[in-house]
Amino acid sequence: MTEPAPTAAAPRKLRFHVLRHDPRDPDSVPHVEQFELEEAAGMTLFIALNEIREQLDSSLAFDFVCRAGICGSCGMVVNGRPGLACRTLTKDLPTDISLAPLPAFELIADLSVNTGKWMRGMSERLETWVHSLEQDPDLRRIEAKMDPDLADRIYELDRCIECGCCVAACGTARMREDFVGAVGLNKIARFALDPRDQRTDADFYELVGNDDGVFGCMTLLGCHDVCPKSLPLQTQIAFLRRKMARTGLG
Amino acid sequence: MKVIYTDVLVIGGGLAGLRMAIGARRRGHDAIILSLVPPKRSHSAAAQGGMQASLGNVVKGQGDNEDVHFEDTVKGSDWGADQQVVRMFVNTAPKAVRELAAWGVPWSRVRQGDREVIINGQKVTITERGEAHGLVAQRDFGGTKKWRTCYVSDGTGHAMLFAVGDQAIAQGIPVHERKEAIALIHDGSRCYGAVVRDLITGELTAYVAKATAIATGGAGRVYRVTTNAVICEGIGAALALETGVAALGNMEAVQFHPTGIFPAGILVTEGCRGDGGLLRDADGHRFMPDYEPEKKELASRDVVSRRMEEHIRAGHAATSRFGQHLWLDITLLGRKHIEHNLREVKEICHYFLGVDPAEQWIPVRPAQHYTMGGIRTNHTGQSPTLRGLFAAGEAACWDMHGFNRLGGNSVAETVVAGMIVGEFIADFCESAKGDLDIPTALIREAVEAERARLDVLLHGGGTERADAIKIEMQQTMTDKVGIFRTGTDLEEAVHRLQGLLVRSRNIGLRHKVDGPNPELVTAYRTQKMLKVALCMTTGALARTESRGAHFREDFPARNDAAWLRRTLAMWRDPGDTLPCLTYEPLDVMGMELPPGWRGYGAKNYVDHPDTPRRAAEVAGVREQMKDADRHAVQAAVMPYEHLLPERFRGRNERIDEKLP
């Protein structure tokens, strides 16, 4: 099982069109800058952007951490679509590649946005932690049991990496600054599913039973299309809306 | 000048840092966490396969307990670990899993009845017990006698990090994101906090605290090929080193993970082999049983990585346009298992290799993975030489991994050390030793010194390029300080790194802005990373033996007589180009498990003169107490429970070991 020899075709010249701006610099005006790079085998946007920074412009700002598609740092708009840059292979893109920061988040500079601040605010508002009456369980004792399928279903929703792509792809988030986004609604669905969290539907209604919550969603479902973890956002939002409507009417 | 005062300053927002802050906060102390990135993006999230804790819920874990976990960990460390610290760890790990379960981690659970698993390449049916149904499940990992690794599919670190991160938010602990500590404030005997740079604005702030805790993770990025995230640059270790007072322990102990995908070096979890995956060569031959008939693919990581490189050298590698590699075959686990229990692996293979691991083999080669060494602390997590400085997790050497860490013991260490050290930090803050009495001149001078250093980089007219120096350092480490080491290579590496360090003092920038300036960040970090790399390399050159992950081809035997001791590296003067190495002996006469053969790897070691005496002593106690329960025997051989914070003492309940 040895890989066939590479074909002799000349590597492509890639043209990157990067939206640049430093909001702290009074002289900075948002503009698109062009960089050219020769494509290499297995090149990702992580590799390409670092090469641009090393060889062409040492000031270019962007964020990567794990570069393995698991930490959610590198969300950006690639040819019009929000996604994780680190695991986007250039071979899957045309020769002209446009890169822009995720909208809806505070811009730090160039491709770097402050998703951390947004996510912390969302977590504080929605109290995205297990609310348990038992504050200090006896750690020496055998843990409480949980149905294995339920644990798997919770993990399915727990896989969110807070990359912000769903918020960037959301019509409501662009109109309503305080909309909690699919990321927030998914978290509510996750904690509502978890029997360790003793909050009731009425409690959750207080958090998302309004237009900044589940009733703000216009079901455009850009979130579902772009989620890098393929979370079942469409189902969860629909489920939550029905549940909250029932709670609100009840 | 801006100064922020708090009780506890935690540097690093990964699992260890978060858990320490929560511990201190719950005892009523204010804590601030500094983090380069939003904490949920920390490298803790990359831990896939799981955390070891001897719950013994699955049938293949039956009979597991702290004693077995202890023995596996000490053997894994090649007797380099502090055995009392290992005891503290193994006794707290089950409590950590249970705490995390209460905090919402969706641990994968045991399902009663028959299930098919792959063991040693064969399909085997095992039957899980009814009484275990719904309890936290365990999987097999390398270097362990029992199935002990608790997991959440293969997103364990992610699930843990989000649960603990959300707990920190619930406790109202502020996280100052995109802030980087660039120097510790100290007077030569007491640490008072840190000078911190805002990565967005460039502003410097002094953070002054009773206790300062470093939890910045490992230093993998001093290597060119590493599984580590790009922020794992050893900066926390460098901050401690640059005090000239705190020491780094065993920096030459660097782990290479057998299955980095080739060539990107991205990790695929040990769970692949734990769940039954095999390593194959160019001919499709499963080669590990030829080298390690006992543990095969599941020997410890240092051993498997060495055997893989040995096999490549013997001419059995597959080749691609990027070079030589071997194959990881998980096709035999079946699509259902892969899509359920190894889904991150599946995604990584899909996106980075274009490979479907249920159908195709995965190209792999060992890559730098873990820094066993770190800031030397005592069992409380405090530096023995710089009061008020604490460290935990991969950044620390407290020292539970010795010269090789077992898979599943790192993410476990982050939370366990966070729990334990968090309590000791709270004790410290409540004691007279924690009283803060700092001259403001010290704060001002520390900030001024850092301002001056940055100004030299920005405007000093230096001519060296930071990224070029960094890449040369990384290449040197990967080429010369890797899995197989020789005196000649290491001497050359020391020489090159020294040259780079001197050149790094003449770095100049093309982009001279003090705000969000990635080039400036690379510049000051490269200067620090070189010092860490030099500690690793000089330590490796001086250690003329092979132990755990440190393998010297010119000294292939483990030499307990000469080298049963921990390396301590200090940087006495900022102008130096080499660290100063001293050694701290490990006391064989205090060991619960005297040195011997690990049960895998080469059987090649020279005994310490005390070993036979201590072995006889321990055997005598065991014989005398053969009717006593295991806890009493353990306490007679090597007492440790008094070392634990009171909150975390006590036995752990299991299905087969009920508590009254």
Looking at CA atoms only, how far is residue A22 from chain B in angstroms? 9
Looking at CA atoms only, how far is residue A129 from chain B in angstroms? 6
Alpha-carbon gap, residue A249 to B424, rounded angstroms = 51
B335 is a catalytic site residue: no
Looking at CA atoms only, how far is residue A169 from chain B in angstroms? 21
Return the residue of A nearest to B654 by Cα. Answer: A142
pLDDT of residue A135: 66
Q: In the structure, what pLDDT confidence band is assigned to residue A1 with cuts at 50, 70 and 90?
A: very low
Alpha-carbon gap, residue B30 to A208, rounded angstroms = 31
With an 8 Å Cβ cutoff, are B111 and A148 in contact? yes
CB-nearest to B103 from A73, A130, A158 is A130
How deeply is A94 buried, as exposed, middle or buried, from its count of CB atoms within 10 A (0-12, 13-18, 19+)? exposed
pLDDT of residue B128: 98
- Dig out the tokens for A123 from the structure: 């977590």
Catalytic residue, candidates B87, B257, B365, B558: B257
B257 is a catalytic site residue: yes
Looking at CA atoms only, how far is residue A144 from chain B in angstroms? 7
3-state DSSP assignment of residue B518? helix
Read off the pLDDT of residues A199-214 as tens digits, 9 standing for 90 and up.
999 999 999 999 999 9
Reply yes or no on whether the pLDDT at A2 is more than 50. no
Return the residue of A nearest to B176 by Cα. Answer: A117
Q: In the structure, what pLDDT confidence band is assigned to residue B321 with cuts at 50, 70 and 90?
A: confident
Q: Which of B95, B230, B324, B509 to mutate to test the interface with A (most CBs of A within 10 A)?
A: B230
* Angle formed at CA A209 by CA A207 and CA A214, multiple of 5 degrees: 100
Reply yes or no on whether the pLDDT at B295 is more than 60. yes
CB-nearest to A139 from B95, B152, B159 is B95
Catalytic residue, candidates B25, B158, B273, B379: B273
Average pLDDT over residues B299-311: 94
CB-nearest to A59 from B45, B229, B519 is B519
Alpha-carbon gap, residue B520 to B201, rounded angstroms = 12
Alpha-carbon gap, residue B56 to B654, rounded angstroms = 7
Read off the pLDDT of residues B343-356 as tens digits, 9 standing for 90 and up.
989 999 999 998 99
Alpha-carbon gap, residue B397 to B394, rounded angstroms = 8
Residues of chain B with Cβ-Cβ distance to A129 below 8 Å are 103-104, 163, 166-167, 169-170
Q: Please, how many CA atoms are within 13 Å of residue B592, restricted to the half-sphere of its CB?
A: 27
SS (H, E, C) B101-156: HHCCCCCCECCCEEEEEEECCEEEEEEECHHHCCCECEECCCCCCCCCEECCCCCH
Residues counted in chain A: 250
Q: Which residues face B109 on adjacent strands? A: B136
Return the residue of B nearest to A128 by Cα. Answer: B166
Reply yes or no on whether the pLDDT at B17 is more than 50. yes
Reply yes or no on whether the pLDDT at B278 is more than 90. yes
Looking at CA atoms only, how far is residue B102 from chain A in angstroms? 7
Average pLDDT over residues B104-123: 95
Strands B254-261 and B278-280: unpaired
Torsion of CA B77, B83, B89, B91, to 10 degrees: 120
Q: Which of A2, A24, A58 to mutate to test the interface with B (most CBs of B within 10 A)?
A: A58
pLDDT more than 70, % of chain B: 100
Q: In the structure, what pLDDT confidence band is assigned to residue A9 with cuts at 50, 70 and 90?
A: confident
Query: What ipTM is given for this predicted complex?
Result: 0.96
CB-nearest to B511 from A59, A116, A134 is A59
Residues counted in chain B: 660
pLDDT more than 90, % of chain B: 95
Read off the pLDDT of residues B125-160 as tens digits, 9 standing for 90 and up.
999 999 999 999 999 998 899 999 999 999 999 999
Q: In the structure, what pLDDT confidence band is assigned to residue A7 with cuts at 50, 70 and 90?
A: low
For residues B353 and B361, the answer to whether their CB atoms sit within 8 Å is no
Read off the pLDDT of residues B569-584 as tens digits, 9 standing for 90 and up.
999 999 999 999 999 9
Which pTM was predicted?
A: 0.96
Average pLDDT over residues B48-74: 97
Return the residue of B nearest to A230 by Cα. Answer: B347
Return the residue of B nearest to A21 by Cα. Answer: B516
